[in-house]
């Protein structure tokens, strides 16, 4: 109906029909009614035609408004459809992003749990290493103290070695001098025996290596330097300890040897090595002959 109303041919056709119908009606009325009545009828007809024309114009205007509203609604609907399509794409994108985010969150939680477990293991290992480090620090301190003690002992040992070496050199020198003096003493004794022969009856009362002498004692001590390892200094130290005769040394036991070595400031091994006791026993026996 709206398309027919918009068609100009239909519009003019309807207008022609109404015009012809009005003309026919007017001529009929004019033939049948008085001119005044016809004029009134024509006026009414013209009035009706004007009303119809205004009504048609109003209806056409309303139709145009409705058509414009329909077009605007169609445009808005298309816009809404486009917007809805965009929103649907965004919804799908957001859903995909949400699924991806959920997957990432699960992976992150799994990694966090694994890292937490690894961190606990590393923390336990660190605590064990700290404990071990403390133990090693204590052990290191103890070893350092022992090392210092050993260094001190080694320095003392080196000092003792140097002193012992010096003593050995001094002893070797003194031993060489003693041997030289002993050789000179033996030569002198041999010369004395040759020059002054001892009668046979008095031979048992004579001391080997020289003329008879009185019993040894503090006023007349034995010559302790004859014993290998005893020099003049050692002899004086023995006199200070009350040792004057071979017989006293010949009766020394282990305790006496150790005590004498401490007082003389020498090693007991030196006394055992030089065999002071054996030499003293031999010299004491010769002295009693």
Write out the chain's pLDDT in tens, 289 residues.
566 556 666 777 777 888 888 788 777 766 665 666 667 777 888 888 888 888 888 888 888 888 888 888 889 989 999 999 999 999 999 899 989 989 899 998 999 998 889 889 999 999 999 999 999 999 898 899 888 888 888 888 888 878 878 877 887 787 777 677 667 666 765 666 676 544 443 333 333 333 334 445 566 789 999 999 999 999 999 999 999 999 999 999 989 999 999 999 988 888 999 999 999 999 988 655 4
Question: What's the rounded Cα separation, in Å, for the pair 275 and 152?
Answer: 34
Q: Does the CA dihedral 199-195-183-266 come out positive or negative? A: positive
Distance CA 71, CA 78 (A): 10
175-181 long-range contacts, Cβ below 8 Å, gap at least 24?
A: 175/228, 178/225, 178/228, 178/231
Please tell me the pTM assigned to this model: 0.29
Domain spans, the chain: 2-99, 211-289
Cα–Cα distance for residue pair 182/174, rounded to 1 Å: 12
Q: Let me know: does 155 contact 163? Beta carbons within 8 Å.
A: no
């Amino acid at each position: 109906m709206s398309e027919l109303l918009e068609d100009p041919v239909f519009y003019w056709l309807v207008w022609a029909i109404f015009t012809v119908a009005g003309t026919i009606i007017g001529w009929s009325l004019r033939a049948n009614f008085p001119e005044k009545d016809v004029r009134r009828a024509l006026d009414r007809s013209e009035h009706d035609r004007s009303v119809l024309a205004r009504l048609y114009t109003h209806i056409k205007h309303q139709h145009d408004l409705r058509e414009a509203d329909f077009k605007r609604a169609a445009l808005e609907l298309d816009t809404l459809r486009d917007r809805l399509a965009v929103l649907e794409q965004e919804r799908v994108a957001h859903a995909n992003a949400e699924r991806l985010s959920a997957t990432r969150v699960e992976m992150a939680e799994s990694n966090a749990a694994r890292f937490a477990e690894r961190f606990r293991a590393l923390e336990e290992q660190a605590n064990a290493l700290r404990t071990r480090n403390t133990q090693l620090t204590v052990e290191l301190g103890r070893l350092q103290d022992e090392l210092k003690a050993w260094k001190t002992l080694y320095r003392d040992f080196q000092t003792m070695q140097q002193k012992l070496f010096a003593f050995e050199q001094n002893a070797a020198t003194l031993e060489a001098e003693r041997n030289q003096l002993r050789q000179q003493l033996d030569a002198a004794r041999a010369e004395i025996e040759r020059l002054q022969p001892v009668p046979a009856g008095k031979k048992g009362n004579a001391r080997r290596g020289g003329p008879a002498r009185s019993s040894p004692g503090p006023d007349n001590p034995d010559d302790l330097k004859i014993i290998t390892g005893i020099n003049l200094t050692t002899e004086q130290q023995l006199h200070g300890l009350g040792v004057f005769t071979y017989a006293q040394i010949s009766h020394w036991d282990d305790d006496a040897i150790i005590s004498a070595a401490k007082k003389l400031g020498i090693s007991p091994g030196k006394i055992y090595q030089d065999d002071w006791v054996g030499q003293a026993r031999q010299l004491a026996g010769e002295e009693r002959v």
